[in-house]
Structure formats: structure tokens, C-alpha cells
A and B are shown apart, each in its own frame.
Chain A
Amino acid sequence: MDLSLAAQINSVLAALILLTSFALLVQRRIQGLLHIFAWQGLLLSISTAVVGYSAGLHHLYISALLTLTLKVFALPYILYVLIHKLKIHKEVEEVVNIPTTMLIGIALVIFSYDLTSPVRELSTLLTRSTLAVALSTVMLGLLMMITRKKAVTQIVGFLSLENGLFFAATSATYGMPLVVELGVALDILIAAFIFGIFFFQIRTTFESLDLKEMEKLKEDE
């Protein structure tokens, strides 16, 4: 494959990932949220495979495969089961309304591009232009965690943040060493299980998954 073609494909994929990040911010239904998250994982996996193919780094295929199984199938499935068991069908509740969140998100993307401009000039990797997108994804994931009220949406935000980190790793240095990636993947899987257990605990304790209830845990003066 031609290198410039690979770079172009990668850029398109990066743009799509950024789009899914915004879609996560906009989506009001939890089911939809999970679908978008799965799409984001798929795009990430394809992007990793493309980078691996064009740069000739075969361990990236394993990363891509891991991403595919974990982030496209396993995690959305676990969350889906959780939502069913907890009987959550309501809309996503947000702290800041969606248009404002979008505006903040746009500002964050511009900020990320500004921040990574020195890197883009210095780097010689074909994925260099996508670093800004990776950083934006991290920021948007964090923003999602801040602006949502319910615990499940926060987990999706956290996982999307992790996607961004992974994307940053592939785009900045052609991926982390395989051992690290395997470790991170395992962590994510375990985190998902722990979240599941916590959801049940939180709900039995507070009879709600609204994080506002957890303010009661604060020690009174």
C-alpha cells in the first residue's frame, strides 16, 4: 500500500473517531451510547491494523485484534447486560446541557490541535497528524465524565478516554510494547467487571445510580 494512501486512510479514520467522540457527547439514549462506543472501538481497531500494515509492525495486528474483541464485542456486551439487569432505559441525564457541552468540546479540540502543533512539525511518522485527534478524544472522554450524572455514562466516558489514550499510543509511537498493551487490555476488562459489581452495590445502597446520592458519603463538619 502506498504510504500516502495509508496516511490518508488513517486521517479519515481519525476524523471518524473524533466524530464518534462527539456523537457520544450528543447521544441521549444509553443503548445508542453503547452502539457508538462499539463503533469507535471498531474504527480504532481498523486504524491500528492499517498503521501496523503500512509500518510493517506485526505486533500491532495483535493489538488490533485485542481492541476488536474487547472494545467492540466484550465491553459493550458486558455493559448491555448490566443495563438490562439494572433496568436502565431512561435518557442520559447531563449536568450541563448538550449544546454547551458541544461548544466546550469544540474548544477542547482546537486546544488539542494547538497543543500538538509542535509535535506535528517535528515528527516524521505517517500518523503524526492524528495525535491531535487522540488528545481530543481523551479530553472529550473526560468532559463526558464530568458532565454526566449517571454512573453508567461515566463508565462509557472513561472507556472512550482509554480509547483516546490507545489511539495516542499508536499515532505517536506506533503503539506501546505488546506486554504493556496486553496489561492495559486486561486492566480494562477487569475494570469493567469491577464497575459492574460497584453498580449493583451503589444501587442497593442508594437505590439509585445517580451520583448525586453519593454526596451523602461526605463527612459532615
Chain B
Amino acid sequence: MPSPFELVSASIIVFLCISLVSAILANHQQFLVKLSNALSAAACLLAAFGGFLTVLSGSVETFILPIGLPDMPFYMRLDALSGFFISIVGLLGFFVSVYSIGYLKGFLGRRSVAPLLVFYNIFLAGMLLVLLSDDAYFFMISWELMAVSSFFLVFFEDEKVPNRRAAFIYVLIAHVGAVLILLSFGIMAGFAAGFESFHGYTFSAMRMAEMPAVWASIAFILAFAGFAAKAGIIPLHVWLPEAHPAAPSNVSALMSGVMLKTAVYGIIRVGFDMMGTPQWWWGGLVLALGLVSAVLGILYALMQSDIKRLLAYSSVENIGIIFIAVGLAMVFAYMKLGTLAALAMAAALYHMLNHAVFKGLLFMGAGAVLHATHERSMEALGGLIHKMKWTAPLFLAGCLSASALPPFNGFVSEWLIFQSFLLTPALPGRLLNLLIPLGAAALALTVALAARGFVKVFGITFLGQWRGRHDTHVAEVDWPMRAGMIMAALSCLLLGIFPNHVIGWLDAVPMSLVGGGIGETAKASGWLWLTPVAAERASYSAPLVFVWLVLVIGVLYFIFRARGVSIRRAPAWDCGFEKMTNRMQYTATSMSMPTRRIFGFAFSIREAVTVVSRRGSSLFPEKYLYRLKVRDHIWNFAYKPVSEASFWIARRVGKLQHGRIQIYLLYSFITLVVLLVFS
């Protein structure tokens, strides 16, 4: 029986080999799509199994890879925390790889899929390496491997201008983030072994480092900012809604489902494992930014009519929710409240797992819609429930999970986060005491708005009548795509019905990080009831809820069937009027109108109505044109000044460049003379 570390490293080697093979076999596209994705799926399972075993046993394995710079080998470590994230990567990677067998067929004949497959596998390997690395040097290399390969994936359909722009913004912010992380590691390594020695670069040395409070805070803030840029925390989220729609859907599923999680992994690794939360306000900062991201993220999501953009903004929201839980865990860990910290941490981890699965499912569903209709805008979709009989219910399962409705998985983790809010005792610091109830309220608002957002996604896309061109032929997607989505939907359901088993499994992670666990108390009242802290405080029985739901639906169905009520079919959404055309339906824009009115202050909205044709009466023009442009304020406030300033500086500096060699020599000469004079 190989050890978990061997399983995970074997899967990494397989990924790297697949990308090599994909490059070689670029001429056999059809065969390549099947072979490469099947192998990726197998390797993902291998990694997921390795991660699963690590968390189950709570074991720690280390390994030193003797390559790299002289005297600086690569350190690797597989502990419960990295094992947990590896199993998320492996699980979603498996679903998505199976799905890709069908999805990539859509590209055949249009363009070569070889680059996609090459970078897809490097991307997966990079994420696993990030999670395995145990020194700053190897971590940064893996981090860049992940960032650059995903850049090429976003860049895949490079003939479209928005995609090139999206990829550029993505790689820019990814690198700014990487620089910040590098600086943070530099500070920690400096205090670990002094600035003359290189031996502080391992994470184990950084764990031992004694740092003054100010420097520790600076290092944490740098690392937090760097990881937040990757996670898409507002205000560093701008790349996310650009890059996710631009990437092919299987890649967006992975980017949104698991790549964002590696950033959370980084924050947990630095904040808990390497620094041990010596300041309470670190948690407060994470919590506050998480709240902002959650609320604004879902508000922006509600405004979108591009289905993948909407899902991308919803990822901002969910990452915000995860940050809320992580921030709470940091606050509790600082106060040495082991059980509560473990509760918040378990909630965060659980939500990460859930978000990976349901957001993966939703992006796969969006990909299926895109594959079938070649349309991303919800304004041109509709009524797909009749044409895509498999995709529609699977997508609905994802929507229900994302809206946190029982019995699906989203409910359990968000319920746990609420529990950790509600069980919070009095905290030091007035600001923090204010933040907790406010945070609970904001989280409730977020969840409600998220439900509204997913009603919009599902309702506009799958219900009503077809809004697009009449001659479009829409067919259900093929079996591999369905299989990927079915497995993801089943996982959503199972993760929602058996929370006790999941919490019992992942309990090793909070155990190792905050020194407490909730595995024992959670199943104190038997496997049927989830009791996070104590049975008299709160309990939830997912299996019973599920059984009840199934019973009620079954009985109702049986009653209606038994009474012989015939089903009457009428045009969808015609509101009782006759002769409604499909252009008179409720649209995505009109559905988000109330939100636009209420929360208008959060966006920069430009609305214009112009009369296009005025044939006939002047009072009743024949044709109107309605334009709506909604952008977030942050672009104008934070990014535009920076980009304009850098262009301004570049133009000024560019004037130095005359193109005349004599002038350049003169620059050197003057520099030489000045240096000689002042030496």
C-alpha cells in the first residue's frame, strides 16, 4: 500500500507526463481528447484518494526533493491541511476531467485543443505542488506555474479581444499578488535566519521565527493582500469576472472551484500554521473584507446577464463567505476558544469543499448551455428545460446548493457559519463586538440575495420561452458531460445529507491548526443529528430533512396522480394574455431591476432610452433602444487612477528615449561625471 504522499506525487508525475504526451500527439485530436482527459481523471482520483487518506489519519509526511539551486533543495510536506485541499482539487478535477471528454469535442475542427490539454494538466500539477510545497522558494515556483498555466488557459480563444484583455488583467494582478507574497516570505525568512543566511526559506524555519509584532503584522498584511488578489477579494477582484467567462468552461470550473481555494489555503497556512495569529485584528481584517466581498459580490452578480460572469461574481461572494469563517476562526484562535475556532474553521473548510463542488457543477452546466446554444447571454436563452432535460435538473441542483437550501450542501456549511456567529461570546475590542452582529446580518442578506440571484439564473435560462433566434437547433449534451455533472450533483446532495461524516473526516485539520475539534461534539447525538457545539444550542438533521422532503413530494405527486388531475399545457409565462411573443417575456435585466433601484448606490449605472424609429404617431414611436451599463465603482476609484498614472509616467519616461546613440552615451557620461563628483 503506497503512502498518501506517494499517491499525490504519482498523480503530479502523471499530470506532467500527460501534458508532454498532449504536446506530442497534437495531430491526433480526437484520440487525444479522450486519452488525455481519461488519464487526468484517473490521476485526479489518485490525488483525491491520497488527500482523503491524509486527512483521515491526520498524518504528516515530509520529503526533500534534491533539485533546485545548490544547497537549497525543495522541501515538500503533506499534512492534514494540504491533504484537505488536495482532496478538493482531486475531486473536482475528476468531475471536470470526465466532463471535458465531451466538452472539448466542441472545439474539434475549429482549433487545436492540444495547448488547452497541455496547460490544463500543468495547471492541475501546479495546484497540487502549491499545496505540497514546504518552502518559500518551491512555493513561489509552483504558484507561478499555476498562475502562468491558467493565464494560457484564459488566453485559449485568443482571437477575441475581450479574452486577450481578460488574460492580461489576470496575469497582471496575479503577479502583483505574487510579489506581495514573496515580500512577506522575505520578511519571515529574514527573521527566521537573518538576512545573511538563506536557511530561513523553509516553512519550518519560518514557523520557529520570533518576530516583533509590527513586522509580523506587516508580513501578514502583505501575504493577505497577495493571496486576496488571487482569491478575488474585493477590491482585488476585477480580474475574476473577466477571466472566468473568457476561459473555456471546464477551466472556469476549475479556476473558480479550486484555484481560488489555493489562495485561502495560503492565508490559512500563513495565518494559522506559520504565524499562529498573535493579533486579534488580523481576524477582524479578514472578517471585514470577507463581509464586503460577500455582500458586494452577490450584488454585482445580480446585475449580470452573462451567465458565466454572474457565476464568477458569485464566486467572489462565496470566497467572501469563506473569508468570514476564516476571520472568525482567527479571532477565536487568538482568544484561545478552541471549540469555537474549530467550529468556524470547520465551517470554512466545509464551505470550501461545497463551493468547489457546486460552483464546479454550475460552471459545467453553463458550459453545457454554451456548448449547446453557443450563447452566454441569458437575454438570448430561455425555455431550455424542454430541450436539455438532463442539464436543467442538474443545474437546478447546483442553484439550490448555491442558494443554501436544504437538503443540499450549501445549507450545512452556511448554517455552521451562522452558528459560529451566534455562539460568539463577548470579545475584546468594541469594534469587534460591533462587527459580529453586523456580520451575521450581512451574511443573512448575502444568502438571501444569492437565492434571488440563482432564481434569476435558472428562471431566465431554463424556464419561460426561447428568446434567441428561431432557427437555432439546441440538443442535449453528450454522456461524458452529463456524467461529470451528475457526479457533481450527487456529491452536492451527499455532502448535504451526511454532514456528520464530512465533519468527522475533516476534523483533523482544525485539530492541527487551532488545537480543538468539533468532531466529537458534532455527532454526540448520533449520526442522524448534527450538533456543532451542544444539542441544546442548535441541531440539524440533514437525513431527516431529506427523507421528509422526499416523502412530502412523493405523497403530493401520488395524490395528484390518484385524483387524476390532467396536466394542462399552455404557453409559458404568457400571464394569461394571448398572443404574447417571446420578446415580451420577463428578462434578466428586468428581473434585476428592483435590486438596481434599491442598491443603485453600489454601482455606476448608465441608463439611456433612445427612440430609433418614429414612424406613425409622434407620441407612440415604433422602436425604442434601451441601453444599460452597470459597472462596479471600484474600477473607477481604485484601478483607473493607477493605470492612468502608470501610463502618464511611462509617457514621461519615454521622452528620455530619443533613439540617438549620442544622447544615450551622453546619459552615461553625465551619470559617470556626477557619480565621480559625489563619490
The residues of A with any CB-CB pair to B shorter than 8 Å are: 95, 111, 115, 142-143, 145-149, 154, 211-212, 214-218, 221
Contact = CB atoms under 8 A, between A and B. Distances in A.
B673 A212 contact: no
Interface stretch (B11-19, B310-318, B653-661): B653-661
A145 B651 CA distance: 28
Interface in B658-679: 658-662, 665-666, 668-669, 672-673, 676-677
A95 B666 CA distance: 12
Given A211-B660, A218-B659, A142 B672 contact: yes
Contacts, number: 37
Contacts of B658: 215, 218
24 contacts: A95-B662, A111-B673, A111-B676, A115-B677, A142-B669, A142-B672, A146-B662, A146-B665, A146-B666, A146-B669, A147-B662, A148-B662, A149-B662, A154-B661, A211-B660, A211-B662, A212-B660, A214-B660, A214-B661, A215-B659, A215-B660, A217-B659, A218-B658, A221-B651
Given A214-B661, A215-B659, 14 more contacts: A95-B662, A111-B673, A115-B677, A142-B665, A142-B672, A146-B662, A146-B665, A146-B669, A147-B662, A211-B660, A217-B659, A218-B657, A218-B658, A221-B654
Contacts of B662: 95, 145-149, 211
B675 to A, nearest CB: 11
B523 to A, nearest CB: 68
Give the 10 A-B CB pairs with smallest separation, nearest first. Answer: A218-B659, A215-B659, A146-B665, A211-B661, A142-B669, A145-B665, A146-B662, A146-B666, A215-B660, A115-B676
Interface of B: 651, 654, 657-662, 665-666, 668-669, 672-673, 676-677
A217 B665 CA distance: 17
A110 B442 CA distance: 75
A115 B673 CA distance: 10
A211 B661 CA distance: 7
Nearest to B661: A211
Interface hub of B660, B661, B668 (most chain A Cβ within 10 A): B661
Contacts of B666: 146
Contacts of B672: 142
A143 B668 CA distance: 11
Contacts of B665: 142, 145-146
Contacts of A143: 669
Contacts of B676: 111, 115
A11 to B, nearest CB: 23
Nearest to A144: B665
A147 B661 CA distance: 10
B650 to A, nearest CB: 10
B125 to A, nearest CB: 38
A14 B596 CA distance: 84
Contacts of A216: 659
B653 to A, nearest CB: 12
A218 B651 CA distance: 14
A107 B656 CA distance: 26
Contacts of B654: 221
A212 B661 CA distance: 8
Interface hub of A145, A146, A211, A218 (most chain B Cβ within 10 A): A146
Nearest to A108: B673
Contacts of B673: 111
Nearest to A151: B661
Nearest to B654: A221
A152 to B, nearest CB: 13
Nearest to A211: B661
Contacts of A111: 673, 676
A217 B668 CA distance: 20
Contacts of B660: 211-212, 214-215
A91 to B, nearest CB: 18
Contacts of B651: 221
A58 to B, nearest CB: 33
A214 B669 contact: no
Contacts of B677: 115
Nearest to A218: B659
A214 B659 CA distance: 7
Contacts of A148: 662
A148 B658 CA distance: 16
A221 B655 CA distance: 10
Contacts of B659: 214-218
B657 to A, nearest CB: 6
Contacts of A214: 659-661
A196 to B, nearest CB: 18
A95 B665 CA distance: 13
Contacts of A215: 658-660
Nearest to B666: A146
Nearest to B669: A142
A194 B33 CA distance: 50
Contacts of A154: 661
A218 B668 CA distance: 19
Contacts of A149: 662
B678 to A, nearest CB: 11
Contacts of B661: 154, 211, 214
A221 B673 CA distance: 32
A151 to B, nearest CB: 9
Nearest to A116: B676
A221 B654 CA distance: 9
Contacts of A95: 662
Nearest to A157: B665
A215 B677 CA distance: 32
Contacts of B657: 218
Nearest to A158: B665
